[in-house]
Amino acid sequence: MKKKWWYASAVLLTANLLTACGNNESNDATESSKGSNDSNLADEQVLNLVEIAELPTGDTALATDTVSFTVFNQINEGLYRLDKDSQPIPALASEEAVISEDGLEYSFKLQEGAKWSNGDPVTAQDFVYAWQRIVNPDTAAPYSYLFDGIKNAAAIMEGEVDKETLGVEAVGDYEFKVTMEKPVPYFISLMAFPTFFPQNQAFVEEQAANYGTSAETMIFNGPFTFSEWDGTNLNWSYDKNEDYWDAENVILDKINVEVIKETSTALNLYDSGQLDRVNLTGEFAKQFQGNDDYIVETEARSSYLQFNQEKNGEETPLANQSLRKAIATSFDQELLANEILANGSQVLGGLVPADLAENPNTQKDFREESGDYLSYDKDAALENWEKAKAELGVDSVELELLGDDDETNKKIAAYMKDQIETSLPGVKIKVKNVPFKVRLELQTEQNYDFALGGWGADFADPVNFIDLLMTDSPYNRSSYSNAKFDKLVELSKNENATNVDERWKNLLDAEKILLDEAGVAPLFQRAAATLQKTNVKDIYNHQVGAKYTYKNAYIEAE
């Protein structure tokens, strides 16, 4: 059963947030089922995995994607990391944070044995530097908005004050202090997110523009080091980091990763023993459902159509609400989830996925309480298409659908083309499948018509999805804008940040505005059907943040 996220515990800032002391020497290592009997372990602790997309960047300040965050979660480490149940536990922090009663001051004690791969100690100053670098407008860090709430962060990002005024301080080498200007209910959860990881200033500045462009221009402080990535190739490796502060609890010696975009190719390698894990879709997912290796991993991830309303400074046909609504209701979401994907993915019905957060009073899931929007309705689609033609003064529209070039996205794009063209006579769809990195670039430049987009939860709160479409959000790559929507999201983050009832209502109302206008069109809530060798244990699959943790993984003897 999918884990429920208790929204109330994330929001209420009360006295019980005070110190929870105690050394965490073993941290999440004790969660592993491997026990102390090494005789159960395979002689060779080498894991062979597959990715379906290339790695876009090796710089935590610039990353926005699942592949990058999975990499960073193995080779670097922050104050906290996610445990087996996706809950934050101390990592580089040697104990739980001390938090003031008003939620405006956090003090973190650091592990004193932690080192960078160049031998430098990991210190509080590494966090000060990293966080100042993120909020510095010159860095253009896409995730800098997550620092909003820290003292002066917003003003720094607006270029009004210097980055050195950020509310962070190194109190000696091993105590890091954060001062807030407003409470952020989910702040501790963010400490496990790679954007908040430390950076080694001397190394970053020595590499300058080359930093993070290859394995050789990266530095590590996590359970593994990184190699064999030149910045463009489709494979890389993780090697056990013997200088990692908790290395005695890391069992794997090496992990090899290869980008393979065709399921049939990956399956052949899996069957021949060259891969230990492979994702399945469509007919392959159906074929292996009775296999002992078959597992389904649920995800707090939404997939949706993103409609670009402005291109090259000019309004696009998709600025027309009737056209967006016509497309949004023209395809059968159930057929897409159950037959085309067939991997456990579910009809979404909105932007915020199910099983992410619950109403603090009724324990009703956000998705259930918000309801379903833009369901498949051919009559409504046709009606809106007729309105769109009249409003635009056209009889037909040709649009380009942008998607990744892996097998799954190619299937989804082909399905969408068929459904939309069949339901809306006069709408012609040209499919453009490109490498993952190229798709991100085209969307960032808003050089597209509409796209197969998606978002995975960085932390367990509905605002993580809803604020993507705020007018000034760096992730609003479609020029969607609604002043009332923006105001509701702002209220949830500021005036109502600690008023759980009003905050919840703000977010429900904001999602309703967005979907009533078809700012996006929900596709499905993702899941992953996977084959994994039965002797591979304790790969942690996370609902939020970085998708996987390999620190605790190991291979049993067969």
| DSSP code per residue over 330-358 | SS-HHHIIIIII-SS-EE--SSSPTTS-B
Q: Mean pLDDT for the chain?
A: 92
Q: Which pLDDT value is given to residue 360?
A: 85
Q: How far apart are CA 554 and CA 252, in angstroms?
A: 6
Structure tokens at 465: 């999805």
Please identify which residue in the block is written with the tokens 């400074």. 313
Q: Which neighbouring-strand residues pair with 148?
A: 150
Q: Sign of the CA dihedral 398, 399, 405, 407? A: negative
CB-based contact 380:455 (threshold 8 Å) = no
Query: C-alpha 345: how far from its chain's center?
Result: 17
Domain boundaries for CATH 3.10.105.10 within the chain? 298-527
Evaluate if residue 334 carries a pLDDT over 80: yes
Beta bridge partners of 267: none
Q: Angle, nearest 10°, between helix axes 378-392 and 407-423? A: 80
**According to the model, what pLDDT value does residue 34 have?**
53
Distance CA 544, CA 528 (A): 14
Give the chain's length: 558
Helix axes 378-392, 321-328, angle to 10 degrees: 160
Token reading at 462: 């509905």
Statement: 298-527 belongs to CATH 3.90.580.10 = no
Rounded CA-CA distance 23/27 in Å is 9
pLDDT on residue 38? 67
Segment 369-387, tens digit of pLDDT: 999 999 999 999 999 999 9
Each residue of 198-234: b (16+ CB within 10 Å) or e?
Answer: bbbbebbeebeeebbbbbebbbbbbbbbbeebebeee
Could you read off the pLDDT of 3-50 as tens digits, one per residue?
333 333 333 333 232 223 333 334 444 444 454 456 799 999 999 999
- CA nearest neighbour of 24 among 132, 114, 86: 114
Q: What are phi and psi of 516, to 5 degrees?
A: -60, -30
Residue found under tokens 């100053």: 125
Torsion of CA 202, 204, 206, 211, to 10 degrees: 160
SS (H, E, C) 280-294: ECHHHHHHCCCCCCE
Q: How many CB atoms lie within 10 A of CB 30?
A: 10
| pLDDT for 304 beyond 60 | yes
CB atoms within 10 A of CB 353: 29
Out of 1-15, 42-56, 93-107, 140-154, least confident range: 1-15
| Residue-wise pLDDT tens digits, 451-510 | 999 998 888 899 999 999 999 998 999 999 999 999 999 999 989 988 889 999 999 999
Q: Are 32 and 83 within 8 A, CB to CB?
A: no
d(CA 43, CA 252): 11
CATH superfamily of 7-258+533-555: Dipeptide-binding Protein; Domain 1 (3.90.76.10)
Q: What is the pLDDT of residue 37?
A: 56
Amino acid at 199: Q
Q: What is the pLDDT at residue 5?
A: 31
DSSP state of 54: -
Tell me whether residue 444 is exposed, middle or buried, using C-beta atoms within 10 angstroms of its C-beta: 0 to 12, 13 to 18, 19 or more.
middle
Question: Quick one: tokens of 516?
Answer: 């009533």
Question: Cα dist. 6→404, 462, 497 in Å?
Answer: 34, 12, 16
Phi and psi, residue 456, nearest 5°: -105, 145
Place of tokens 């069949």: 422
pLDDT in tens, 428-453: 999 999 998 899 999 999 999 999 99
Reading the block at residue 537, the tokens are: 């244990």
Alpha-carbon distances, residue 385 vs 329, 375, 424, 447 (angstroms): 10, 16, 7, 24
Pairwise CA distance, residues 543 & 11, whole Å:
19
Q: What integer pLDDT is reported at residue 340 of this predicted model?
A: 94
- The Cα-based distances of 181 to 161, 492, 539 in angstroms read 15, 15, 38
Rounded Cα–Cα distance for residues 210 and 229 (Å)? 14
pLDDT at 460: 84
* 193-204 pLDDT tens trace: 999 999 999 999
Report the predicted TM-score, pTM, of the whole model to 2 decimal places: 0.79
Q: Where are the CATH 3.90.76.10 domain residues in the chain?
A: 7-258+533-555
Per-residue pLDDT of 505-544, as tens digits, reads 999 999 999 999 999 999 999 998 999 999 999 999 998 8
Q: How far is CA 100 from the centre of its chain?
A: 29
